[in-house]
Structure 1
């Protein structure tokens, strides 16, 4: 694997509540290489979007980053001043937000929204920014004449392409895509993902792709990280996550969607409910929902470790010889 474009090291993000601080992300660590699509999957509330907003430093109170580093091109961007971070966003790292309609300003035509981003970060004149915006619309297969239209005049799929075009405006090296196909039908989902992948191949940027749809992610991502209750519990190549998962939670996610070929199989869901982060148990966070739980799982903290080359898991069933002997 080449030198990473971005390295997240032991990222911790807490939320202040009346009942005490809640750690939504606990020592999350992963790398993304240049040109790589890294997927981040897990149930709703597992911390995926919190990671994304923290990388962009767009998290708002009561959230705060309580620890860790985010190394981008050799520099820890968590140490950047607000002004430097403002210049960094969109030019080096941009984001496609979860709901395109909510991400766009409903009372401004698209020309204003494109030009605002472009002129705020460059020395372009208004006319130059408009020409750049027209070029961006063509890139995502929207006619430049639509630049004067308002967001409500576009379909859901077109609005999503508009948000992608804005994210591409300053040629960033990394684009974070937080549920980029939410609320779109499956046909439009595929069109959007095919367009994203074609643009990645053309411009060479990296992608952090966030979704709870593991089947969608396996098809689109090079590597996948699985999150559960604020922790990264497994990281591997996408096909390995699908065909050879080590963590019981990952296996549960994989069995929650039907195969498109072969005999019909009964879908097996994951029993129980997500963990209450105010009541973190000793040992593994997945113990209450795991069908292979052992005494060790209830006492020994888990740690992400290499099971085989390129495949990491924090499950006690694998990787730690001392624990394995007890199991």
Structure 2
């Protein structure tokens, strides 16, 4: 699979009055052409920070302090303002978290499409902009006569589809979806994600999909990365991340999902609380909450290394394959 995006040793810091806090620490991964890569983990683990880094959307006090981001071999971190303006939305676009609130409430949907087209000089006049906008609304199953309505006149699911249409306006090669279905009910969630998958198959773009819902991610993604405390702790094919986890944290996430079939089982949460990034202990960051932690885990930080075909894990003592969580992939 040809690599579309390569992230190498990415570090992102937030500058505070008490010093630097590292929100993303030495993260590396790639996204292939036409691939859907998922990022999962607790709130504050660095998922959205990575997403913003790919488009260089960070503002102070956030800063990318180290690493490389390559898009089709081009250095994103080395782009000037003009190159970034062309790169954003044309090559990479984003469906932001709480996307329903991303629409301008005092502008019609038509105006918001036209704003994108005119900013990137892809239309000659308003009539051409309207035709392109109508075509995009048809793609996401919204009646074209709704083009001149305001956001408050749409339901939550329809606003979500409008935002997806806006993100696809310039036919980008990478679509970043940062928890795009958080505020929607499960039926609408499934409808929207099925539509996104159909569009991905039709237009051939890649997706970085970020969510807390592992079961939803397993259905949609090709590979899944598990984040913990600013670090990537496991990266594996989606079909194996719940049924055959190798990192204890991924194993704990699998045990947190109820089974839909078979006998009732007691749920098992992950003990403890997320790490305070302003006070990172020596050794493995997950060690204080890990049931397998040893003295070696408390002394040395594990590195992300190969753990089989197309799998990586950052653990001194990975889980054996036969030790699967109670809620396996088939039960999700």
TM range (shorter): over 0.9
Match of 1:180 in 2: 180
Match of 2:268 in 1: 268
**Alpha-carbon offset, residue 95 of structure 1:** 0.2
SS at match of 1:44: coil
Alpha-carbon separation, structure 2, partners of 1:42 and 1:211: 8
Q: Which moved more, 1:310-319 or 1:262-271?
A: 310-319
Alpha-carbon separation, structure 1, partners of 2:242 and 2:204: 26
Match of 1:249 in 2: 249
CA contact (8 A) 2:39 2:209 kept: yes
Match of 2:71 in 1: 72
Match of 1:134 in 2: 134
**Alpha-carbon offset, residue 122 of structure 1:** 2.6
Trace 1:1-327 onto structure 2 (pairs within 5 A): 2-125=1-124, 126-318=126-318
SS at match of 1:27: strand
**Alpha-carbon offset, residue 123 of structure 1:** 3.5
Alpha-carbon separation, structure 2, partners of 1:216 and 1:122: 37
Alpha-carbon separation, structure 2, partners of 1:303 and 1:240: 21
SS at match of 1:201: helix
Alpha-carbon separation, structure 2, partners of 1:46 and 1:123: 38
Alpha-carbon separation, structure 2, partners of 1:123 and 1:32: 27
Alpha-carbon separation, structure 1, partners of 2:270 and 2:117: 45
TM-score, normalised by the number of residues in structure 1? 0.96
**Alpha-carbon offset, residue 14 of structure 1:** 0.3
Misfit runs of 4+, over 6 Å: none
TM-score, normalised by the number of residues in structure 2? 0.94
SS at match of 2:90: coil
Alpha-carbon separation, structure 1, partners of 2:191 and 2:266: 30
**Alpha-carbon offset, residue 127 of structure 1:** 1.3
Alpha-carbon separation, structure 1, partners of 2:99 and 2:26: 30
Match of 1:322 in 2: none
SS at match of 1:235: strand
Alpha-carbon separation, structure 1, partners of 2:135 and 2:111: 15
**Alpha-carbon offset, residue 299 of structure 1:** 0.3
Alpha-carbon separation, structure 2, partners of 1:157 and 1:307: 40
